[in-house]
Amino acid sequence: MTGILLVQGDITRQRADAIVNAANSSLLGGGGVDGAIHRRGGPAILAECRALRASRYGRGLPTGQAVATTAGRLGAQWVIHTVGPVFSADEDRSPLLASCYRASLRVADELGARTVAFPAISTGVYGWPMADAARIAVAAVRSADTAVEEVRFVLLDAPAYEVFARQIG
């Protein structure tokens, strides 16, 4: 069974087999978690992302999918990049958000990663309300069929941590 752990802090400071990046489909970097991961992880990550754009993902990584690269100088073996949906009040995009967690865990299984750190995908510039995002994230991880032993949600601030803690129960 997969254990779920909550940590408040900076995901780029975590030690885990894999760290998940809330990327955008260009895979070429951005703000938030993405910017922090590339800054601390160094240029090797971006080099692999560029290679992925030149090969498998010429049109970018589709929303809800995941792909791994090296973690460069981060305290992990891999970064798993996944693209969250932009929140929409008119359209229910929650299956895509759940898919980010499931697809990332599937990639983790392929790599043999046993500990995986996730940020709260889509809750930054993509605008997803934290409580709803936490509900979707926890449900997706709990229902995933995976060999990953520990999923660690790394929340940047205390309010986000509290929201996830209430969701875990």
Cα distance between residue 99 and residue 106, in whole Å: 10
Look up residue 148 and give its two tokens: 């990953």
Helix (H) or strand (E) holding 131: helix 130-142
Nearest to 133 by CA among 94, 96, 80, 75: 94
Minimum distance of ligand ADP from residue 2's CB (angstroms): 20
Minimum distance of ligand ADP from residue 1's CB (angstroms): 25
Minimum distance of ligand ADP from residue 124's CB (angstroms): 2
Minimum distance of ligand ADP from residue 156's CB (angstroms): 4
Which residue's Cβ lies closest to ligand ADP? 124
Q: What residue type is assigned to position 25 of the chain?
A: S
Q: Which is nearer to ligand ADP, 54 or 67 (CB)?
A: 67
Residue owning tokens 């990049």: 81
Binding site for ligand ADP (CB under 6 A): 10-12, 22, 31-34, 36, 84, 119-126, 154, 156, 160
Output Rg (C-alpha) for the chain, integer angstroms: 14
Nearest to 97 by CA among 119, 78, 75: 119
Q: What residue type is assigned to position 115 of the chain?
A: T
- Which letter does DSSP use for residue 14 in this model? -
Q: Which is nearer to ligand ADP, 112 or 127 (CB)?
A: 127
Q: Which is nearer to ligand ADP, 72 or 119 (CB)?
A: 119
Does residue 34 have an active-site annotation? yes
User: Active-site residue among 10, 17, 34, 132?
Assistant: 34
Q: Active-site positions? A: 34
